[in-house]
Chains A and B, each alone.
Chain A
Amino acid sequence: MDGARRTAIASAARENGGGEEMECTMTCSLRESVDMVSDPKNLDASVEEVFRLMLGVNCRRYKGPAEIAEPESVTAVVGFGGLLSGACVFRSGGTAAKKIAAHMTGMEFGEMDDTVKDGIGEICNMLAGAWKGKVPDLAANCGLSIPAVITGRDYNLHVQAPEFKLHHTYRFDDASFEVTIICDGLQ
């Protein structure tokens, strides 16, 4: 898991490694706006926006863990690189993942096939993009990696001493999922 996340983050850093964005990276700083960057309302607004526009469902944050006690779960990771390094992580059980993919495509899914995984990767990509888009300096100076999607059971995501971490749980219909923003470096 850590390896997949590192790959995603490295990919984001590579994509963000040239041209005018890199010049700005040298001169801009997010240090003074860390409160704005880590504002939990931005994550809630991003999740609500992505699910309303792309799935046509109302999604609400709730307290407590997501119901992921299933034989198979799915985790999507999109890395951030540039002024902020870290990752956006989406995690849900297989049932919620299939429901999300069904809303996106208009198809029904009996198993967690490649289309479901692809859809979850895209959801994570849009969540990451919408979240960084809430802070103008972040939108302009932070690149996104291609999504990495992991499926399986009995795995944990571990990050040592992040700068900040937002971990929220959401529900739509009778499905729940978790979204985590991990910042492990801020310039």
Chain B
Amino acid sequence: MSEVRTLIVDDSSVMRKIVERSLRQAGLDPLVVHEAGSGIEGLELLKAQPVDLILSDINMPAMDGLEFLRQLRAQNLAPGVPVVMITTESSEEHVKQAIQAGAQGYIRKPFTAEQVKERVLSLLNAA
């Protein structure tokens, strides 16, 4: 597999590390990881760094994950790049909101590395 440039957006540095570890366990290698602690930071980073995959939390201060996703689409940043939401929110309504905002995948916390692998690889293979 060629290099996978990934943006992980989460206000928790521990969760960013866990997601990165899960991606490496999924066999994404070589993997280049960019980290953002908020949606605002994520948008700024995407203006300078092209990526192949975005994973974002939803509940974050300043700008939540859904607004980040809406802004991402409105500003046409990272067109065609798959976005996976990783969140504690698990209701059908939250999944619907994420898909309406432009997400292609949804992973509920707590998660296993196997779940991350399955979701991410299917999206990257389809892209």
**Do B17 and A105 touch (CB < 8 A)?**
yes
Q: In the complex, which range does the number of interface residues on chain A fall in?
A: 20 to 34
Instruction: Knowing A49-B110, A130-B110 are in contact, say whether A146-B88 is a contact too (CB < 8 A).
Output: no
Contact residue among A21, A101, A144 (Cβ-Cβ distance under 8 Å from B88): A144
Interface residues of A in 27-50 (CB under 8 A from B): 49-50
Note all chain A residues with C-beta closer than 8 A to B17: 104-105
**Do B14 and A129 touch (CB < 8 A)?**
no
How many residues of chain B have a CB within 8 Å of chain A? 25
Question: Does B122 make an interface contact (CB < 8 A)?
Answer: no
CB distance from A168 to the nearest CB of B (A): 18
Note all chain A residues with C-beta closer than 8 A to B112: 53
**Do B88 and A129 touch (CB < 8 A)?**
yes
Question: Does A126 make an interface contact (CB < 8 A)?
Answer: yes
1/0 contact string of B21-52 vs chain A (CB within 8 Å)? 10000000000000000000000000000000
Contact residue among A21, A115, A126, A130 (Cβ-Cβ distance under 8 Å from B13): A115
Question: Does B104 make an interface contact (CB < 8 A)?
Answer: no
Question: Does A118 make an interface contact (CB < 8 A)?
Answer: yes
**Do B89 and A144 touch (CB < 8 A)?**
yes
Question: Does B90 make an interface contact (CB < 8 A)?
Answer: yes
**Do A106 and B21 touch (CB < 8 A)?**
yes
Note all chain A residues with C-beta closer than 8 A to B89: 129, 139, 144
Complex-state Cα separation, A49 to B111, whole angstroms: 9
Question: Does A67 make an interface contact (CB < 8 A)?
Answer: no
Interface residues, chain A, CB within 8 Å of chain B?
Answer: 15, 20-21, 49-50, 53-54, 101, 104-106, 114-115, 118-119, 121-122, 125-126, 128-130, 133, 136, 139-140, 144-146
Interface residues, chain B, CB within 8 Å of chain A?
Answer: 11-15, 17-18, 21, 59-61, 64, 87-94, 108-112
A-B contact pairs, 14 of them (CB 8 A): A20-B93, A21-B93, A50-B110, A54-B18, A104-B14, A106-B21, A122-B12, A122-B15, A126-B88, A128-B88, A129-B87, A140-B92, A144-B88, A144-B89
